[in-house]
C-alpha cells in the first residue's frame, strides 16, 4: 500500500508509470511475499530521481533523520506501521530507547527526534532519548523551535544491556548513522533488540554491495512487471581501490567512466533519449551525499596537481574521492517544486510506506546532487479528495496515485537493503 500523496507530477503518465499503476495487485503481492522471506529494515528513507524515461533510487538511508519533514496528516500511518513493527519484534515491549546522533544537535534534528518520539509513544511505548555522546554527562533539557522541550539523558551500559537510570528498554532505536564506527557501548547487546543493527552503520555498508543487491532485485521485479530493469536501476561499476593522486589511478577511473558513458549513450539511443548521459563518481563507503562527484566527460577528471594550474574552473569542482571507488550512472531529475530542482524522498517504517517529502535545491541543476547545503524540504500531504473511491468506473475519471510509483521504487531499494543487511549480518556469517 502506498498512500496517495500530492506529488509535483502533473504531466501525462508515461509508459513506465502506467505499467506500475496497472500492475498494482501483482506488485503488492510480490512485496508481501518478499517480506515473508526477508526482514525489512526498521525504518528507511529513500531518495528517488525521476528522469521521466527512468526512475531510480539514488540514496537508501537506514538512519533517516527527516521525520519532521513529513506532512503531519501522515502521522497516523507512521504510528500504525510502528505498531505493526513492535508487534513483530517485541510485543511485550514497555520501553523504547532512541539513541540520537552524537555531537551538536540542530533545531531540525531535534524536531526529527520529537517526531520519532511521538510516533513510538503513540504506538504504545514509553520512549526516552539516550545519548551515547560522551559529552552528555547528565540529563539535559533541549528547547525546540515550537517552545516544547526534549530531554536527553546519558545512555548507560550495564553488562549486556543499555538503558537509562531506572529505564530498561526492550528495544533500542538507533538514529545515528555510526559514521565513526560502532561505539563500544552498543556492542554485544545480546539481550536487547538494537535496530537498525550495528552492521547497518556507514563504516560497514558499501555502496557497491547495495547497488549489486538492487540490481538483483530490479532484475526480478523487471521480469515480474515486464520492463527492462535498467528503467528502474542505475548502472554501476565497482572500480575497487584507486589512488587518484597517481596518474595510474586517474587513468583507470577515466577508463571506467568512459566505458559507462559509452554504455549509457547506447541505452539512450535505444530509447530515443535526447539528454546527455552523465555518471557520478563516489567512494564505496561513506555517508549519503558526501564524497560524490558528477562527471559528464572523462576528460573532466584531472589530477589535483593539474587542477591547481587549471585556473577558473577548479574551485567549482569538489575534491576527487579517495579509496574504494564506485562509478554509478547519473539519473536526471525532471521534477520541479517552485521552479527548484526537486527529488522525492520516501519514508518507510517496517514494510510500510508512511510518507514523503521533496528535497529541493534552488541553486542546483537537474543532474546535480541535491543532498547538499542549501537544500530545503517540502512535505507531501495527502491528496485531499483525490483518493476518494471511484472504483469500478471503467473509463470514468479517476485520479491516479502519482505517488504510487515512488512508493514502489522506494520499497525496491528497501528490499535491496534487506538483502544487503542479510549478507553482512555477523550472526548469519557465523552460522555459514
Asked if 18 is part of the footprint of its own copies (rule: CB under 8 A), the reply reads no
Q: Does 213 bind its own copies (CB under 8 A)?
A: no
| The one among 115, 161, 263, 296 contacting its own copies by CB under 8 A | 115
Instruction: State which of positions 361-390 bind its own copies (CB under 8 A).
Output: 382, 384-385, 387-390
Candidate list 17, 20, 31, 279; residue touching its own copies; CB under 8 A:
31
| Distance of alpha carbon 412 from alpha carbon 89, whole angstroms | 22
- Which residue's CB is nearer to its own copies, number 50 or number 74? 74
The DSSP 8-state label assigned to residue 298 in this structure reads G
Q: Which is nearer to its own copies, 170 or 341 (CB)?
A: 170
Asked if 22 touches its own copies (CB under 8 A), the answer is: no
Cα gap 296→188, rounded to integer Å: 46
Q: Of the listed pieces 19-27, 301-309, 331-339, 410-418, which binds its own copies according to CB under 8 A?
A: 19-27
Site for its own copies in 129-148 (CB under 8 A): 146-148
Contacts of 356 (CB under 8 A, 6+ apart): 5, 70, 344, 345, 346, 347, 380, 403, 406, 410
With CA atoms as reference, report the closest residue to 367 among 231, 253, 276, 300.
276
Other CB atoms closer than 10 Å to residue 303's CB: what's the count? Answer: 14
SS (H, E, C) 150-183: EEEEECEEECCEEEECCECCCEEEEECCCCCCCC
| 129, 114 Cβ separation under 8 angstroms | no
- Using CB under 8 A, which residues numbered 390 to 409 contact its own copies? 390-393, 396
Judged by CB under 8 A, the chain residues 42 through 101 that form the site for its own copies are 72-77, 79-84, 86-87, 91-94
> Which CB atom, from 153 or from 420, has the smaller least distance to its own copies?
153
Query: Binding residues for its own copies, per CB under 8 A?
Result: 1, 3-4, 24-25, 27-29, 31-33, 35-36, 72-77, 79-84, 86-87, 91-94, 114-115, 117-118, 121-126, 146-151, 352, 382, 384-385, 387-393, 396
Amino acid at each position: 500500500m502506498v498512500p496517495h500523496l500530492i506529488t509535483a507530477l502533473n504531466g501525462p503518465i508515461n509508459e513506465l508509470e502506467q505499467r506500475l499503476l496497472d500492475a498494482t495487485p501483482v506488485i503488492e503481492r510480490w512485496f508481501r511475499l518478499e517480506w515473508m522471506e526477508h526482514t525489512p529494515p526498521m525504518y528507511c528513507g529513500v531518495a528517488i530521481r525521476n528522469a521521466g524515461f527512468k526512475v531510480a533510487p539514488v540514496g537508501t538511508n537506514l538512519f533517516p533523520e527527516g521525520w519532521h519533514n513529513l506532512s503531519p496528516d501522515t502521522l497516523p500511518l507512521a504510528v500504525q506501521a510502528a505498531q505493526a513493527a513492535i508487534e513483530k519484534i517485541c510485543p511485550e515491549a514497555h520501553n523504547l530507547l532512541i539513541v540520537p546522533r552524537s555531537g551538536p544537535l540542530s533545531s531540525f534534528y531535534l524536531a526529527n527526534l520529537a517526531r520519532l518520539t511521538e510516533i513510538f509513544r503513540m504506538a504504545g511505548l514509553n520512549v526516552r532519548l539516550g545519548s551515547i555522546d560522551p559529552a552528555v554527562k547528565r540529563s539535559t533539557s533541549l528547547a525546540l523551535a515550537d517552545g516544547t522541550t526534549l530531554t536527553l539523558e546519558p545512555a548507560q551500559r550495564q553488562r549486556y544491556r543499555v538503558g537509562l537510570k531506572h529505564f530498561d528498554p526492550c528495544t533500542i532505536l538507533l538514529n545515528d548513522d555510526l559514521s565513526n564506527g560502532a561505539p563500544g557501548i552498543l556492542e554485544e547487546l545480546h539481550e536487547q533488540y538494537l535496530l537498525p543493527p550495528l552492521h547497518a552503520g556507514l563504516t560497514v555498508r558499501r555502496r557497491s554491495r547495495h547497488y549489486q543487491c538492487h540490481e538483483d532485485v530490479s532484475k526480478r521485479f523487471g521480469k515480474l512487471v515486464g520492463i527492462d530493469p535498467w528503467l528502474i536501476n542505475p548502472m554501476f561499476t565497482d572500480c575497487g581501490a584507486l589512488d587518484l593522486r597517481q596518474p595510474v589511478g586517474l587513468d583507470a577511473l577515466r577508463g571506467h567512466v568512459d566505458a559507462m558513458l559509452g554504455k549509457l549513450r547506447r541505452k539512450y539511443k535505444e530509447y530515443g533519449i535526447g539528454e546527455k548521459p552523465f555518471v557520478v563518481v563516489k567512494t564505496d563507503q561513506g555517508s549519503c551525499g558526501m564524497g560524490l562527484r558528477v562527471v559528464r566527460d572523462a576528460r573532466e577528471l584531472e589530477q589535483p596537481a593539474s587542477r591547481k594550474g587549471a585556473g577558473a574552473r577548479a574551485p567549482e569542482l569538489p575534491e576527487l574521492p579517495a579509496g574504494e571507488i564506485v562509478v554509478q550512472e547519473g539519473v536526471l531529475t525532471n521534477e520541479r517544486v517552485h521552479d527548484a530542482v526537486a527529488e522525492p524522498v520516501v519514508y518507510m517504517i517496517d514494510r510500510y510506506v508512511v510518507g514523503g517529502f521533496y528535497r529541493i535545491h534552488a541553486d542546483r541543476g537537474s543532474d546535480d546532487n541535491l543532498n547538499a547545503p542549501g537544500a530545503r524540504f517540502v512535505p507531501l500531504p495527502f491528496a485531499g479528495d483525490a483518493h476518494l473511491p471511484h472504483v469500478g468506473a471503467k473509463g470514468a475519471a479517476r485520479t491516479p496515485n502519482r505517488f504510487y510509483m515512488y512508493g514502489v521504487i522506494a520499497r525496491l531499494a528497501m528490499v535491496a537493503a534487506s538483502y544487503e543487511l542479510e549478507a553482512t549480518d555477523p550472526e548469519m556469517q557465523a552460522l555459514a
